[in-house]
A and B are shown apart, each in its own frame.
Chain A
Amino acid sequence: MDMSASPAEPLPDDGTLIRQFLKGDETAFRTLYRRHTPRLRMVVLRLVGYRDADADDVLQEAWLAASRALAGFRGEARFETWLSSIAIRTARRRMARAFADGEPAAGVDAVLTRPGMVDAAIDAEQILQRLPDRSRIVFTLHYLQGLSHDEIAGALGIAASTSRAILSRALGELRARYRIPVPDRGES
């Protein structure tokens, strides 16, 4: 199905697509899915240790849950934010497993297959991937998703002080062990 649109006809906004989807429009749903899933999938991959199958399971569950709850979505938050919160809740069980047994993360090379992905992005992601699961999860939720420590605590079933401590440790690990490099800006 060709989902492209001409420049003269910009894609409808989220609210319009949601209304069309609720009326049974499959194309509207696919547009909504393709607009938001790439970014959401990157977040979920970090939360589930870069396990492709787990990420897709979480996304499937999250989208189904969001679809069923969509009639009650009032637009008080951005749709993307609302959807992310559902995905984070959906990933909670898998994140809890990471907290419990420290299951090692998978390699990132296999999942960073987006065409045009530059080496710098892969290198940067590999630094994040080498963090212990709990550190990477809290770092992702706090710095990349903008959740507060109270929100992280609620999402993971831990104390807010624990979230702060994990984040502090994550920053220490990033700086001391992995020495965040300054990317090559092409200067000779």
Chain B
Amino acid sequence: MTTDDRDFPRDDAERAWLAALPEMSALDPEAEDRLVEQLRREGWFRRHRPAAVVLRLAAVVAIFVAGAWVGSALARRGSIEAMLARNDLSATDRVLLLQRAGSVYVEAAGRLAGAAAQDPAAAEVSTQTLIGAAQAAARAHLDVGVSPQLVSLLDVQRGQNGAPHANLIWY
């Protein structure tokens, strides 16, 4: 036979004894610190999470590098050299590419003239480039007979003084 659970506490003495039992025990501050340290090692506290800081820095660097790489790739993809290497350009794109290349050529010639107007080597390079361009246009039948005449003229001029005709305008 067992005592009924509800039989306790059954009188004032038992109630008083039950009430007198201590409800709390003193804490050991070192135990608290050990626990906090363990939780810190497991990464629970944000102020002490060097791994998270390193991860964030790595993410920032990765995003920067990726952005720089994408930007560089886009720039390379839009360069004249990259456009020339592509076979999928439409006729309109090829016309625009020729215009860009021509503009760059004129720009480069202008800068060369400003920097080395009296340099025979510069004059030779300019002439050869101009002849090469004219010949390429003639071979491709891109004009209506202007290019062959231009090539002949340039050859004559080069034979006379090694420099292109002063009045020739390519673009």
A interface residues with partner B (beta carbon < 8 Å): 21, 23-26, 29-30, 33-34, 37-39, 41-42, 45, 55-56, 59-60, 63-64, 67, 111-115, 117, 120-125, 127-128, 142-144, 164-165, 167-168, 171-172, 180-183
Contact = CB atoms under 8 A, between A and B. Distances in A.
Given A67-B39, A171-B3, A24 B49 contact: yes
A24 B48 CA distance: 9
B27 A167 contact: no
The CB with the most chain A CB atoms within 10 A, among B16, B24, B49, is that of: B24
Q: Is the interface of A mostly helix, strand, loop or mixed?
A: helix
B171 interface: no
Contacts of A171: 3, 7-8
A86 to B, nearest CB: 14
A31 B99 CA distance: 74
A129 B36 CA distance: 31
A123 B20 contact: yes
Contact of A183 (B16, B44, B45, B48): B16
Contacts of B40: 26
Given A30-B36, A128-B21, A143-B18, 11 more contacts: A26-B47, A29-B45, A37-B32, A38-B26, A41-B27, A42-B24, A56-B28, A60-B38, A63-B35, A111-B25, A112-B22
A124 B20 contact: yes
B143 to A, nearest CB: 73
B2 A67 contact: no
Given A60-B31, A168-B2, A168-B3, A24 B47 contact: yes
A85 to B, nearest CB: 18
B86 interface: no
The 9 closest A-B pairs by CB, nearest first: A24-B46, A168-B2, A38-B24, A124-B20, A114-B26, A41-B25, A168-B3, A121-B22, A182-B13
